[in-house]
Amino acid sequence: MSKNQKGILLINLGTPSDPSVPAVTKFLRRFLSDRRVIHMLPLLWQPILNLMVLPKYAPKSAANYERLWSSGIGSPLLHYTQRQAQLLAKRLPEYTVRYAMSYSQPLIGAVLKEFEFQGITDLTIIPLYPQYSTTTTASVQDDVARFYKDRKTVPEIRFVSDYSSFWPYIKALSNKLQKAILKVNPDAIVFSYHGIPLSYQKAGDPYAQRCRQTTMAVIERLGLSIPCFQSYQSRFGPAEWLKPATKDLLTELPKQGYQKVLVVAPSFVSDCLETIQELGEENRDAFLTAGGCEYQLLPALNDDPEWIEALAQLTLLNAVMPAQNTAMDLPSAYLQTE
């Protein structure tokens, strides 16, 4: 049995094992079969998914993954998630640190079984989603609960459900943004978050509020006077999603006189398809085509030392105060949403 009884599990969404159509199809099938992600009865949804959605979207998605895949690091999301676990282990040597994915290898259950074998009795779980949503964080909670449902022994679990305005995270994000502002001198900043269907918010998902808390915390920390906008990206399917859509907003900004924009994606702590391809290529083209002159995308936190320190502080805080909710309510001044 390991002498180290404390563990940390970082959990991200996942990534295809390679950019081929079969691998992307397998990944998307697992992802889009999660009832937290798609609120439709499996009996109705599975035929649609397998006969219509996957044949249409998997080849397109595979082509996008092919463009961002690197011979050196492979999937950026996997690479940076691994780096975060490695660096956090160095920062907190008294902990055994691992990472897992919700929809690809290594799966959550497999890593929890590894912790069980190692005799971990105190486990901190940090989903790599700063803003709580039922589509992400709650899905992770489901997986963890399923694993431990019939276990004879369960470790002390410290689950970090939200850190949308946790100060070390805001500090890391703000400092990275401040350096870019000084370099770019933008006339507008766009905070782009992964979207969710509007119906999920109406059903009680607090995600949009959590996103607003992050945006406001950054604005207040930096004392920004530059016009700031909040928007949502990565829409999927015909349902109405949170608005404004990032691409729509970026198309409108040049018409309002904004020629130089700096885009930051706070809900993505590792660069991935949605940052590199969607924001870095598709939305850039939309802005420039609409008349914009300069478009800059802030890289994700990735392996930034201040982000690693934020993860360490999340762990240490919850070791003292289990189940601590690190979100804070903040005023809504300064933010422009449309």
Tell me the binding residues for Fe(2+).
194, 274
**How far from 288 is each of 191, 213, 277, 293, CA to CA, in Å?**
18, 29, 15, 6
Cα separation, 118 vs 123, whole angstroms: 12
Residue 151 is inside which H or E element, if any? none
CB-count burial class (<10 Å; 0-12, 13-18, 19+) for 243 = middle
| 231 vs 173: CA distance, rounded Å | 17
Please state the three-class secondary structure of 208-220 as a single string.
HHHHHHHHHHHHH
Q: Distance between CA 126 and CA 15 in Å, rounded?
A: 18
**Cα–Cα distance measured from residue 118 to residue 33, given in angstroms and rounded to the nearest whole number:** 31
Angle between helices 207-222 and 167-184 (to 10 degrees): 60
| 3-state DSSP helix/strand/coil % of the chain, to nearest 5 | 50, 15, 35
Cβ count within 10 A of residue 320: 8
The two structure tokens encoding residue 167: 């100060």
Residue ranges of the annotated binding site are 194, 274
Query: Whose structure tokens read 């928007």?
Result: 231
Nearest partner of 68 among 320, 271, 246, judged by Cα: 271
In 3D space, the residue among 192, 191, 175 whose CA is nearest the CA of residue 274 turns out to be 192
Which helix (H) or strand (E) covers residue 166, if one does?
none
Cα distance between residue 12 and residue 99, in whole Å: 8
Cα separation, 324 vs 266, in Å, equals 21
> What is the chain's alpha carbon radius of gyration, rounded to the nearest angstrom?
20
